[in-house]
Amino acid sequence: MQYSASTTPLRSPYMSSSTSALHLRVDFVSEVAHCHINSPQHITRQVDTECALSELESELKCSVCKDFYDVPMSSKCQHTFCAECAKFDYNNKKTGLCCPTCGYSFTSFTQFYKNTLIEDLIKEYKSNRESIAHLYALGKQAEERECREEKEGSIKATNSNSNCNFNSSPFGGTTKSKCASEKSIHKNDNDGNGQKRKRTDDNDNKLLPLNKNIRTSNNQLCKKPKIAYGLMNEKKLKNLLKEEGLPAYGSKNEMIARHSYFINLYNSNVDATIPKSKGELLRDMKKWERAHQSNEAKDANLIKKTLTNSEEINSYVISPNKYRNQFAELIQQAKINKRRRETA
């Protein structure tokens, strides 16, 4: 093994000066020691879980420092870096600031915003890493057992082995962890060389966000701007609705409601992973229209009901005189009962 050799770079001149480097030395050595001290069987298991978790962890790691995000900052192009790493001052770019992953250019660092979701995820993940690894190991064992049983049970032993690896895994692509780490290189390969390698893990769910990024950046779908309806007369509103292929009837308020609902629907569709076609959107609009109308009728009923209910309640509270006689009778009966009990 080459590990013994790899510990020697720690004596490099770059490290001796800073204290953080000292800390790193411990970190690094302990990581290597993992693989040394344990028995060979242990190593493979360790490496196995490391690999599988690394697939998960790679999503939580900054691609510049290759460590968990420290104050994750996201950019408009959907790429996230540590706050420190985002201050990349690499000087071989002629066009000033741009995203190291996709080349999207920025005008200033203010266009990065803090991604608290990722920060929380990392915090949660770090505190539960042990149990996640444990669960993973358990899942893997169960999967192996199943495989073995299937192998013994069926006559076509060879076929079942190749199939069950992909079907019965509770963690998705456990057997593909190698592909997964290669996947990150797909993303990084600027010159497109990576495309030569075959994508064996097309079914992998984790690829979805990647595809989404590609789609949103390449697709021509643009969000529609909000409209100041107050400035519009009915004729303009009708034209607007007709442009979108929407029905142009009803009062001004109804038309405004219809149009703004459509804009909202359309804009949220732009962000969707698999955007719907305009026809589907219009169908959704029709549904909304129907629901809206019936809702109006229902609302009217509901309001009537609540109104009458409140009248009844008010009548109890405001005019207790109405039931004064009944109350008096009840009080008298109670008194009689009490007296009877006392005499008895």
Partner 1 sequence: MSNALFTKRLSKELVDLKINPPVGIEVTEADTFKSWKLTLDGVDGTLYAGERFTLEFRFSPNYPMESPEVVFTGNIPIHPHIYSNGHICLNVLYNQWSPVLSVRSVCLSIQSMLSSCTCKEPPPDNNHYVKTAKASPKQTQWSFHDDSV
Q: Which stretch binds partner 1 (CB under 8 A): 8-16, 139-147, 254-262, 309-317?
A: 8-16
Minimum Å gap between C-beta 38 and partner 1 is 14
3-state secondary structure of 114: strand
Report d(CA 310, CA 314) in Å as an integer. Answer: 6
The encoded tokens of residue 153 equal 């049970």
Q: Say how many residues make up the chain.
A: 344
Structure tokens at 204: 């992998």
Considering beta carbons, is residue 43 or 232 the nearer one to partner 1?
43
From residue 88, alpha-carbon distances to 65, 97, 184 in Å are 11, 8, 20
Q: How far is the CB of 190 from partner 1 (least distance, A)?
A: 5
Nearest approach, Cβ of 29 to partner 1 (angstroms)?
Answer: 10
Amino acid sitting at position 334: A
The region of 61-69, 204-212, 239-247, 321-329 touching partner 1 under the rule CB under 8 A is: 61-69
Q: Which of 55, 341, 86, 303 has its CA nearest to residue 180?
A: 55
Complex with partner 1: residue 26 or 302, whichever CB lies closer = 26
| 2 lies in the site for partner 1, by CB under 8 A | yes
Among residues 93, 252, 278, 324, the one that binds partner 1 under rule CB under 8 A: 93
- Shortest approach of partner 1 to residue 201 CB, angstroms? 16
User: Considering only residues 33, 36, 84, 148, which one is a binding residue for partner 1 as defined by CB under 8 A?
Assistant: 84
Q: Please pick, from the candidates 49, 74, 75, 101, the single residue that binds partner 1 as defined by CB under 8 A.
A: 101
**Tokens encoding 41:** 């069987």
Cα R_g (the chain), whole angstroms: 34
The residue count for binding partner 1 (CB under 8 A) is 52
What is the DSSP secondary structure assignment for residue 224, as one 8-state letter? P
Long-range contacts of 95-104 (CB under 8 A, 24+ apart): 99/75, 100/63, 100/64, 101/63, 101/77, 101/187, 101/188, 102/77, 102/213, 102/217, 103/190, 104/75, 104/76, 104/77, 104/79
For the segment 163-202, give every residue that binds partner 1 (CB under 8 A): 178, 181-182, 185, 188-191, 193-194, 196
CB burial of residue 258 (10 Å; 0-12, 13-18, 19+): buried
Kindly state whether residue 3 participates in binding partner 1, applying the rule CB under 8 A.
yes
Among residues 69 and 266, whose Cβ is nearest to partner 1?
A: 69
User: In the window 15-54, what residues touch partner 1 (CB under 8 A)?
Assistant: 15, 17-18, 20-21, 24, 27-28, 31-32, 35, 47, 50-51, 54
Note whether 12 binds partner 1 by CB under 8 A: yes
Instruction: Write out the residues near partner 1 by the rule CB under 8 A.
Output: 2-3, 5-6, 8-9, 11-12, 14-15, 17-18, 20-21, 24, 27-28, 31-32, 35, 47, 50-51, 54, 63-67, 84-85, 88-94, 100-101, 103, 178, 181-182, 185, 188-191, 193-194, 196
